[in-house]
A and B are shown apart, each in its own frame.
Chain A
Amino acid sequence: MKNMKGDKLFIILFLAPAVLITSVFLYFPFFENFFQSFYKTDGFFNSTFVGLDNYKRLLADEIAKKATLNSLQLMLYVAIFQVGIALLLAVMVDSIKVGAGFFRTTFFFPVVISGAAIGLLFTLIYNYRNGLLNEILVSLGFERVLWLTEQSSLYMVAIPTVWSYVGFYFVIFLTAIGKIPQDFYEAAQLEGVTGFQKLTKITIPLIVGDIKVCLVLAITGALKIFELVFIITRGGPARSSEVLGTYMYQKAFVDANVGYGATLAVLMVVIGLTLALVTNKLMKSEDITY
Chain B
Amino acid sequence: MSTDKNQLTYWEKFQTKYLIKSKIGKIFVYIVLSIWAISTIFPLVWVLLNSFKQSRDIITNTFSFPADPTLQNYINAFSTINIGKSYVNSLIISGSVVLLVLFFGGLASFVMARMSFRLRGVMQTALIASLLIPAFATIVPVYRMMIDLGFVNTYLGLIIPQTAGNLPFAILVISGYMATIPRELEEASVIDGCNRWTMFLKVFLPVSLPIFGTVATFVFLWSYNDLFSSLIFVEHESVRPIVVLLSQVSSQYGTDYGLMTAAITMTVIPVVIFYLFAQKTFEKGATAGSVKG
Chain A positions near chain B (C-beta within 8 angstroms): 1-4, 6-8, 10-11, 13-15, 17-19, 21-22, 24-30, 32-33, 36, 44, 85, 88-89, 92-93, 95-96, 99, 102-117, 119-121, 123-125, 127, 129-130, 132, 135, 139, 163, 166-168, 171-172, 175, 192, 194-197, 213-214, 216-217, 220-221, 223-224, 226-227, 230-231, 244-245, 248-249, 252-253, 258, 261-262, 264-266, 268-269, 272-273, 276
Do the beta carbons of B16 and A268 come within 8 Å of each other? Answer: no
Q: Considering the chains assembled together, what is the distance between the CA atoms of A22 and B162 in angstroms?
A: 10
Q: Considering the chains assembled together, what is the distance between the CA atoms of A216 and B293 in angstroms?
A: 8
Do the beta carbons of B126 and A27 come within 8 Å of each other? Answer: yes
In the assembled complex, the CB of B5 is this many whole angstroms from the nearest CB of chain A, namely 9
Q: Is B92 an interface residue (CB 8 A)?
A: no
Most chain B CB within 10 A, of A25, A106, A272, is at A25
Do the beta carbons of B138 and A29 come within 8 Å of each other? Answer: yes
Do the beta carbons of A93 and B33 come within 8 Å of each other? Answer: yes
Do the beta carbons of B197 and A10 come within 8 Å of each other? Answer: yes
| Chain B window 126-142, contacts with chain A (Cβ cutoff 8 Å), 1 for yes, 0 for no | 10001011111111111
In the assembled complex, the CB of A117 is this many whole angstroms from the nearest CB of chain B, namely 5
Q: Which of B102-134 contact A (CB under 8 A)?
A: 104-105, 107-108, 110-111, 114-117, 123, 126, 130, 132-134
Do the beta carbons of A265 and B137 come within 8 Å of each other? Answer: yes
Do the beta carbons of B171 and A171 come within 8 Å of each other? Answer: no
| Chain B window 256-291, contacts with chain A (Cβ cutoff 8 Å), 1 for yes, 0 for no | 010011011001100110011001001100110010
Residues of A within 8 A of B33 (CB): 89, 92-93, 96, 99, 103
Do the beta carbons of B271 and A192 come within 8 Å of each other? Answer: no
Q: Is B247 an interface residue (CB 8 A)?
A: yes
Do the beta carbons of B133 and A26 come within 8 Å of each other? Answer: yes
Do the beta carbons of A252 and B46 come within 8 Å of each other? Answer: no
Q: Is B24 an interface residue (CB 8 A)?
A: no
In the assembled complex, the CB of A185 is this many whole angstroms from the nearest CB of chain B, namely 13
Do the beta carbons of B130 and A26 come within 8 Å of each other? Answer: yes
Do the beta carbons of A116 and B260 come within 8 Å of each other? Answer: no
Residues of A within 8 A of B136 (CB): 224, 244-245, 248, 264-265, 268-269
Closest to B131 in A: A220
Q: Is B161 an interface residue (CB 8 A)?
A: yes
Closest to A266 in B: B137
Closest to A17 in B: B104
Do the beta carbons of B134 and A269 come within 8 Å of each other? Answer: yes
Q: Is B10 an interface residue (CB 8 A)?
A: no
Q: Considering the chains assembled together, what is the distance between the CA atoms of A88 and B32 in angstroms?
A: 10
- Given contacts A10-B111, A132-B62, 15 further A-B pairs with CB under 8 A are A1-B114, A7-B196, A17-B108, A22-B164, A29-B141, A30-B137, A44-B144, A89-B36, A93-B33, A96-B30, A108-B283, A123-B250, A163-B39, A220-B293, A245-B136
Do the beta carbons of B111 and A115 come within 8 Å of each other? Answer: no
Do the beta carbons of B163 and A21 come within 8 Å of each other? Answer: yes
Q: Considering the chains assembled together, what is the distance between the CA atoms of A13 and B110 in angstroms?
A: 12
Q: Beyond A15-B111, A18-B107, A123-B250, is A33–B137 a contact (Cβ under 8 Å)?
A: yes
Q: Which of B179-224 contact A (CB under 8 A)?
A: 190, 195-197, 200, 221, 224
Do the beta carbons of A223 and B165 come within 8 Å of each other? Answer: no
Do the beta carbons of B227 and A11 come within 8 Å of each other? Answer: no
Do the beta carbons of B140 and A258 come within 8 Å of each other? Answer: yes
Q: Considering the chains assembled together, what is the distance between the CA atoms of A92 and B30 in angstroms?
A: 8
In the assembled complex, the CB of A74 is this many whole angstroms from the nearest CB of chain B, namely 15
Sorting the interface of chain B by its residue count into under 10, 10 to 19, 20 to 34 or 35 or more gives 35 or more
Chain B positions near chain A (C-beta within 8 angstroms): 6, 8, 12, 15-16, 19-20, 26, 29-30, 32-33, 36-37, 39-41, 43-44, 46-47, 58-59, 62-63, 104-105, 107-108, 110-111, 114-117, 123, 126, 130, 132-145, 147, 160-161, 163-165, 167-168, 171, 190, 195-197, 200, 221, 224-225, 227-228, 231-232, 242-244, 246-247, 249-250, 254, 257, 260-261, 263-264, 267-268, 271-272, 275-276, 279, 282-283, 286-287, 290, 293
Do the beta carbons of B132 and A273 come within 8 Å of each other? Answer: yes
Closest to B47 in A: A121
Residues of B within 8 A of A213 (CB): 290
Q: Considering the chains assembled together, what is the distance between the CA atoms of A103 and B228 in angstroms?
A: 31
